[in-house]
Every structure is written in C-alpha cells, then in structure tokens.
Amino acid sequence: MNFLLFYRIDSIVLFPDQEDQLICLGDKKGIYIVKVAYLNQSQGTVPVTPFPSSKVWSRAWPHRVGFFLWQAFLNRLPTLSNLHRRKSVLDTPNLRYLCGNAVETEDHLLVQCPLASRVWNYFINVVGSPIFTISSIKEVVVGWKSFPLSMQGLQLWKRLPAAIPWGLWKARNAIAFFGKISNLYDVIRDIKIDAFNWSKGLDCQEKRYVSSFQMLFMA
C-alpha cells in the first residue's frame, strides 16, 4: 500500500512557474459539474434502470414535481416504509394511507395499490389502449409511450407520468396530515387539473379546465 502511494506521489509533475489550479479528473475539461460527479459516483453501483435525467427534470411539469419524481425513482420519498427504516417514525411500516394491502413503498403507493391501479387504468382507457401492467414508478418514467392523439391531447398525455403519481402523493398526504379521504373521482379530477394547467404553462388549481380535458384526447 505504501509503495503504491509513493509511486503515485512520485509520478506527479510540478511546474513551479505555473499557478496552481483545481481540476476535476472526472470531466474531460477538468471542470466540476454536479451531473458528472453523480455519474462517476454511481459507477460500480450501476442501477438496474439508468437514471432518466431528461425525463425527470422536464419542463413539462414544475420543478418541484421533478424533485418528487427524482425522490420516487431513487426510493427516497418519505413513505412510512422509508421513515421506519430511517427510524424517523414509531409506527410500523405496515400502516398504509391509500389502501390496506401492503407496506407503503413508492411502487405500491404510486402504481400497485388498488386506487393507483384504477387511476392509471382510467387514463389508459381514455385513449382506447388495452390495460397494461405497470409494476414500478421507474417503468412509468422511462417507458411511457405516446399514442396517436390530437396535438393538445398529446401535450396532456406526456404530462400524465408525472401528474398521476403527483396526484396520488397529494391524496396520500391529505389523509396523512389532514385526515381528508379523497375518492377515486376526486383524485382523477385533480390529476386532470394539474396536467391541463402544466400544458398551459400554469401551476394553479383552477377547476374550469376539467370539463374540456377528455375531449382533447380525441385524435
């Protein structure tokens, strides 16, 4: 070990007439970039699905929603399962807010639980597609496919992979923090509002957009 250390030190070439500079070895230009540092750190522990930066940090939805998707993709949302693992809550991870069928994890809460499945299938049926199985939030973010829709419908459809998980997360938090239970149609309505507003460059809660939402999916 000492021999290797001395070998590396001895291989360093000093230039007394030049000013010292900080150089990031992970970048070709020697410039430190957070994205490059993240990718270099991830090497050796390569995830099953590469992190889809361009799809998560999209301009199609607000930045806070991108941050939410980033947390969900990396299994860092403050679900009861994660909070229990971090010893941040005294409750057991078996407590669930949206359903009572499984431990509250990201994938179960946002994709697999009965309420989540019904929400996903509702929007998939709107475009006339056969119901397909989604098992994880990663599959949604990475593999969301387009359908032959109108131009406005396509703009709405591309926002659903973020709007649906975001709507389910808000419904979950409404129960957790305020004891407010939303039914299926309330959740779907709020998702429509978000998707429509984002497609118009807005980030508000105006109900007037809901009535025309489904018509825009018509090719």
pLDDT tens, residue by residue, 95-142 = 566 666 667 788 888 988 888 999 999 988 887 766 556 788 888 888
- Mean pLDDT throughout 54-78? 90
Non-local CB neighbours of 56 within 8 Å, separated by 6+ positions: 66, 69, 70, 73, 141
Per-residue pLDDT for 51 more than 90?
no
pLDDT for 9 equals: 58
pLDDT for 210 equals: 54
Mean pLDDT (the chain, rounded): 76
> Greater confidence, 62 or 81?
62
**What is the distance in angstroms between the CA of the first residue and the CA of the last residue of the chain?**
67
> Greater confidence, 79 or 58?
58
Q: Nearest to residue 169, comparing CAs of 159, 158, 182, 156? A: 182
Cα(102)–Cα(96) distance, integer angstroms: 7
- Residue 71's Cβ-count burial label (10 Å; 0-12, 13-18, 19+) is middle
Could you give the dihedral angle defined by the CA atoms of residues 195, 198, 204 and 206, in that order, rounded to the nearest 10 degrees?
A: -50
pLDDT tens digits for 24-47?
666 667 776 777 666 666 665 444
pLDDT for 161 equals: 93
Per-residue pLDDT for 81 more than 80?
no
- Mean pLDDT throughout 180-194? 90
Cα(191)–Cα(182) distance, integer angstroms: 12
Cα(175)–Cα(143) distance, integer angstroms: 30
Cα(74)–Cα(67) distance, integer angstroms: 11
pLDDT for 5 equals: 57
DSSP assignment of 137-190, as one string? HHHHHHH----S--HHHHHHHTTHHHHHHHHHHHHHHHHHHH-----HHHHHHH
pLDDT for 102 equals: 61
pLDDT tens digits for 147-174?
778 888 888 999 999 999 999 999 988 9
Per-residue pLDDT for 195 more than 90?
yes
